[in-house]
Amino acid sequence: MGEWAAGLDVADVPAPVLDRLSLVLLDAAGVTALGAGLDGMRAMRSSWNAPGGPAPLIGGGRCVSVDAAAWLNAMSLVCLELDEGNKYAKGHPAAHGFPAVLALASERDASGRDTAAALLAAYEVASRFGRASRLRPGAHPHGSWGVAGAAAGCARLLGLGPDAVAAAIDTGAGLPVAGHFASATGGNPVRDAWMGASNLSGLVAARMASAGIARNTGTAALSLGTLLGEFDASELTGGLGERWDIARGYFKRHASCSFTHPAADAVLELRHDLDPSRITGILVETHALGAGLAAPEWDNRLSAMFSTPFAVAAALLDGEVGPRARLDDPALRALARRVRLVEAGDLTARLPDERAARVTVELDDGSARTREVPNPVGDADHRPLAEQDVLALLKGWLPGREDLIDRAAAFSRDLPALDHVGERLRGLAGDETDDETKEPK
């Protein structure tokens, strides 16, 4: 794996893979800018009080030190549950390492060719570590297996050789967060900070390798395996350079955990002729991974985003599960209490290729309507989103900041051909005074 990452050159990467990288990068930049506008992230930037530096706070209006940008951009990227993910990795490979790679690329004013290679290395290594890791029940995937990807991407950008890259990867695998899923369902933003830790730890691992003090001792099998679950090392090099996991991910159109999306998509297909006042109950059948998101109550935005009853109710009432959902609307809360979530064995059996849901809406006349979907809309295997779709979503979520999204799109498309990326990346900081992206009251 170290040899592959160290030698990765975008000149040898198939054009469709580079197109997908461009789209994932656009999504990451746009969603980071959206998250940066939340009141909590504004307060976090103020509290951090990072000194000025070479790396942009995307959508945050200024440039700061590499470490601060890596951490804060990672938190902004994941805080609205809108970032790209991968069902085979069982999480979010891009968010684990893209902020670190981009911050480091800004500091080094790296070439677009090297930056693109580093981003691909970060994604592919993280995804394979996600495939290889089977975390203990209750563990959240943020900040654990993906640190190895952040380390790989940063090491590739530093131009390290195969042995050093391997040592960085193993060191990154020795810096996981042991986060509990209940922190997410309970609405604790420490869950967002786990991604900040992943990106900063990836930088640390690569710097240790650059300094010659990192060692490759099989730490991954101990940290991700013995301590946090099970680890199958045979997954790490499967299809390297042949199978590109970045092409098999999903983009989100709902601001909620991906496990809630199939149910939301199903009720959207049923919604056009339904009167919510006539609904007596909604049965949602899902797979084992999503069966725990059953809470019909929520205390804040984060706990709502990990509630299938919330996502279903929002989709039925608003026609979307957007970043500005009416969290305290009495009608939304009342409808959510009528949602029942259960595991269905036949849907669990279809994992990992499908993350299906079956929704049955029961009406006051005794009739019922059922819809089943195999994967969320936006998955590479089910109604995938193209660039125009991602752009439309981002511009709809960021009114008044279309210029920033256009700059992100142009940078993402141009990346492999750029001689230097620093100035273009810093242009993505935008203007923090735009009130349109503030968190709704």
Q: Which of 186, 187, 123, 196 is nearest to 153 (CA)?
A: 123
Query: Which residues 6+ apart lie within 8 Å of 179 measured at CB?
Result: 139, 140, 142, 143, 144, 190, 191, 194
- If asked whether residues 202 and 285 sit together in one domain, one would say no
In total, the chain counts a number of residues equal to 441
197 vs 273: CA distance, rounded Å: 46
Shared domain check, 206 and 327: no
Is the pLDDT assigned to residue 434 strictly greater than 50? no
Cα(321)–Cα(312) distance, integer angstroms = 8
- DSSP assignment string, 276-297: GGGEEEEEEEE-GGGTT---S-
292 with 432, same domain? no
Mean pLDDT, to the nearest integer, of 130-152?
98
pLDDT at 38 over 50: yes
Q: Residues 89-140: pLDDT tens digits?
A: 999 999 999 999 999 999 999 999 999 999 999 999 999 999 999 999 999 9
84-94 per-position pLDDT tens digit: 999 999 999 99
Q: What is the pLDDT of residue 441?
A: 37
Q: Based on the domain organization, do 235 and 342 belong to the same domain?
A: no
- Expressed as residue numbers, the domain containing 266 is 258-373
The first and second tokens of residue 90, run together, are 């069982």
242, 235 in Cβ contact below 8 A?
Answer: no
Paired residues of 55 in beta bridges: 64
Would you call 441 exposed, middle or buried from its count of C-beta atoms within 10 A (0-12, 13-18, 19+)?
exposed
Round to the nearest angstrom and report the end-to-end CA distance of the chain: 47
Q: Are strands 279-286 and 63-64 parallel, antiparallel or unpaired?
A: unpaired
Extract the tokens encoding 439: 């968190």
In terms of Cβ atoms closer than 10 Å to its own Cβ (0-12, 13-18, 19+), residue 353 is exposed
- Give the mean pLDDT of 284-303: 96
Mean pLDDT, rounded, for 414-437: 84
User: What's the rounded Cα separation, in Å, for the pair 294 and 260?
Assistant: 10
pLDDT mean across residues, the chain: 96
CATH of the domain at 318: 3.30.1330.120
Same domain membership, residue 83 and residue 8: yes
Q: Clarify whether residues 267 and 181 are in a common domain.
A: no
Among residues 346, 373, 400, the one where a domain terminates is 373
Evaluate whether residue 274 is within a structural domain. Answer: yes
Do both 363 and 219 map to the same domain?
Answer: no
pLDDT at res. 261: 98
Asked if residue 93 has a cis previous peptide bond (ω within 30° of 0), the answer is no
Helix, strand and coil content of the chain, in percent to the nearest 5, comes to 55, 10, 35
pLDDT given for residue 325 in this prediction: 87
Residues 6 or more apart whose CB falls under 8 angstroms from that of 223 comprise 173, 174, 176
Residue 316 forms part of a structural domain: yes
* DSSP code of residue 306: T
Q: Does residue 215 have a pLDDT over 60?
A: yes
Q: Residue 436 above 50 pLDDT?
A: no
The answer to whether residue 203 is domain-embedded is: yes
* pLDDT given for residue 432 in this prediction: 57
**Which residues have a Cβ under 8 Å from the Cβ of 190 and sit 6 or more positions away?**
179, 183
Classify residue 312: in a domain, yes or no.
Answer: yes
348-390 pLDDT, tens digit per residue, is 999 999 999 999 999 999 999 999 999 999 999 999 999 999 9
Element (H, E) at 340: strand 339-343
Whether residue 144 has pLDDT greater than 90: yes
Q: Are strands 229-231 and 133-135 parallel, antiparallel or unpaired?
A: antiparallel
- Phi and psi of 310, rounded to 5°? -60, -50
How many whole angstroms separate alpha carbon 233 and alpha carbon 225? Answer: 10
The pLDDT of 205-219, averaged and rounded, is 98
Whether residue 437 is predicted with pLDDT greater than 50 in this model: the reply is: no
**Is residue 378, in this structure, part of any structural domain at all?**
no
pLDDT at residue 16, as a whole number:
97
- Domain count within the chain: 2
Q: Which of 373, 394, 428 corresponds to the end of one domain? A: 373
pLDDT digits (tens, 9 = 90+) for 309-346: 999 999 999 999 999 888 999 999 999 999 999 999 99
Q: What pLDDT score was predicted for residue 205?
A: 98
In this structure, the answer to whether residues 201 and 305 fall within a common structural domain is no
Based on the domain organization, do 135 and 266 belong to the same domain? no
In the prediction, which pLDDT does 168 show?
A: 98
Can you give the pLDDT at residue 408?
98
Measured distance CA(329)–CA(324) in Å, rounded: 12
pLDDT digits (tens, 9 = 90+) for 10-24: 999 999 999 999 999
Does one domain contain both 214 and 110? yes
Same domain, 65 and 214: yes
Q: Is the pLDDT of residue 433 over 60?
A: no
Question: How far, CA to CA in Å, does 327 sit from each of 64, 101, 190, 305, 320?
Answer: 33, 35, 20, 10, 13
* 327 and 267 belong to one structural domain: yes
Confidence of residue 273 (pLDDT cuts 50, 70, 90): confident
- Predicted confidence at residue 431, as pLDDT, reads 78
Answer for the pair 149, 127: CB distance below 8 angstroms, yes or no. Answer: yes
Boundary residue ending a domain (373, 407, 424): 373
- CATH number of the structural domain spanning residue 32: 1.10.4100.10
